[in-house]
Amino acid sequence: MATLEIDRVKKSYGQMDVLKEVSISVGDGDFLVLLGPSGCGKSTLLNMIAGLEDITSGQIRISGDVVNDLSPKDRDIAMVFQSYALYPTMTVRQNIEFGMKIRGVPPEARAKATKAAADMLQMGHLLDRKPSQLSGGQRQRVAMGRAIVREPKLFLFDEPLSNLDAKLRVDMRTEIKRLHQRLGTTIVYVTHDQIEAMTLATRIAVMKDGVVQHFGPPQEVYDRPANTYVARFVGSPAMNIIPASLQVGADGLAEAVVSLPSGEARIAGIPLSAAALKSHAGQKVLLGIRPEHFSLTSGPGLSVHIDVVEPTGPDTLAVFAMGGTEVIARLEPFAAAAGDRLTLAVKQEKVVVFDASSETRLD
Ligand SMILES: Nc1ncnc2c1ncn2[C@@H]1O[C@H](COP(=O)(O)OP(=O)(O)OP(=O)(O)O)[C@@H](O)[C@H]1O
C-alpha cells in the first residue's frame, strides 16, 4: 500500500513539452484515474510512474521515497497493459507464476499465491490453458492475476479495457472495482472513457495537452467542473454550456438572463459567491447546466420549442435552442413530438457559471 506524489513533473521530447508541471498527490488506497483524449500525456505520465520513461524535471514519490532514479523492478509496482503482454507459449498458471519464479519464490508459495489470485478472479478452471485458448476478458483476468501475485504497493493500469467489447468492458470494470475493494491497494488507471473514470475513481485528473485541468473526487469533477473543457468531457450527454448575461436578482442572489426563441427568460437563485457576482454582474457569462437538471413543470418555467425527441428507455432526451445554442434536457419519459412547446424548470442550485473569456468556473 502506498501514497503517490507527482510533484511539478515535466516531460519534454526535444522542443515539445508533453507534460507541463503536473502535480497530483493521492493517499494510501486511492484509485486515481488519469482521464483525457488521445495525446494528452496520460500514458507518458503512467510510464514515468512505472519507471519506463525518464522524468525531465520534478519528482515522483511513492510512500514518501523519491523514485526518479529507481529502475522499474525496484519500485514495487505492477502494471497491467492494454495488450495484456502474456507469454503465448506458457499456460495461464506459468504466466502467473513466472515473475515469482524469477524472484526465487518457492514452489509451494507460488502455487498458493496463484490459487488465491485465480479464486479472486474466478479463473481456476483456466489455469492449464494457453493464452490463445482464452477470450479477451479471460486474458485480461490473467494479466490482472499476474499483477496481484506480486503484491505490489501500487497497481498501474494502462487502458486495460480498450480491447474488449462493450458488454465485457462493463463486466471487467466491475471486476476491477471489486479487486480494489478487496485488496485496497493504491491504483493509477489511464483511460479516455469518462464513464470508467466516474465509476472507478476516488480521484480523477482530467488532462488536456499535458496540463491537469481538474484534479478532484469524481462527484466534484462532475458537479463543479473547473472549466468548460472538463464540463464537456465528463458526462454524457455533456453538460450544456449556455451563453447568458449575469445580473443581481431582487433577492441579492445571482440571476441569469437567457434568450429563448419566445423571448428572454430568467433563472434566479444561482449559487455564486458575493465576490464573483460583484465582479461579473452585468457581463456575459456561460451557464453550465447538466441535462438531468431540467424537468417538466406545470408551473412557471422556461418555455422551449422542442426540435428533437430521443427516448432512451429510462428517460427521454429533448433537444431545443436556448441562448443561441443547442441544449439537451434529460426528462422523465413523456409523450411529445418535435415541434411541441414544453415548460421546463431548472434546478438552479445545480447551475454553475463560467467566465465567458477564460471559460473557468466562477466560485
Ligand atoms: N518518444 C516520443 N517522442 C516524441 N513525442 C512523443 C514520444 N512519446 C509520446 N510523444 C508525444 O507525447 C504526447 C503524449 O503522448 P501519450 O502517449 O502520453 O498520450 P496519451 O494521452 O496517453 O494518448 P493515447 O491515449 O493515444 O496513448 C503525444 O503528443 C505524443 O505524440
Contact 53, 44 (CB under 8 A): yes
How far is the C-alpha of 213 from the C-alpha of 201, rounded, in Å?
16
- pLDDT for 114 equals 93
Q: Chain centroid to CA 291: how far? A: 19
Centre of ligand 1 to C-alpha 192, Å, is: 13
Ligand 1, pocket-test mutation among 9, 11, 13, most atoms within 8 A of CB:
13
The pLDDT assigned to 278 comes to: 95
Check if 208 has its Cβ closer than 6 Å to any atom of ligand 1: no
Q: 160 CB under 6 A from ligand 1?
A: no
Reported confidence tier of residue 68, pLDDT bands at 50, 70, 90:
very high
Ligand 1 pocket, 205 CB below 6 A?
Answer: no
Residues 6 or more apart in contact with residue 103 via CB below 8 angstroms? none
Alpha helices per DSSP H over the chain = 42-50, 92-102, 107-120, 136-148, 166-183, 194-200, 218-223, 228-233, 274-280
156 CB under 6 A from ligand 1? no
What would the pLDDT profile of 130-159 be if each residue is shown by its tens digit?
Answer: 999 998 888 888 998 998 898 899 999 999
The pLDDT tens digits of the residues spanning 281-310 come to 999 999 999 999 999 999 999 999 999 999
What value does the mean pLDDT of the chain take?
94
Consecutive H or E run containing 255: strand 254-260
Which pLDDT belongs to residue 85? 82
* Distance in angstroms (rounded) separating the CA atoms of residues 139 and 331: 40
CA distance 9 to 83: 27
The confidence band for 163, taking pLDDT boundaries of 50, 70 and 90, is confident
Supply the pLDDT for residue 108: 94
**ipTM of this complex:** 0.92
Q: pLDDT of 20-48, one tens digit each? A: 999 999 999 999 999 999 999 999 999 99
- Contact in structure between 153 and 184 (CB atoms under 8 Å): no
Which band of pLDDT confidence, cut at 50, 70 and 90, is reported for residue 162? confident
Is pLDDT of 220 > 90? Answer: yes
Q: Percentage of the chain surpassing pLDDT 90?
A: 82
Calculate mean pLDDT across residues 227-250. 96
CA gap 105, 313 in Å, rounded: 54
User: Model's pTM, two decimal places?
Assistant: 0.92
Lowest average pLDDT, out of 38-47, 157-166, 195-204, goes to: 157-166
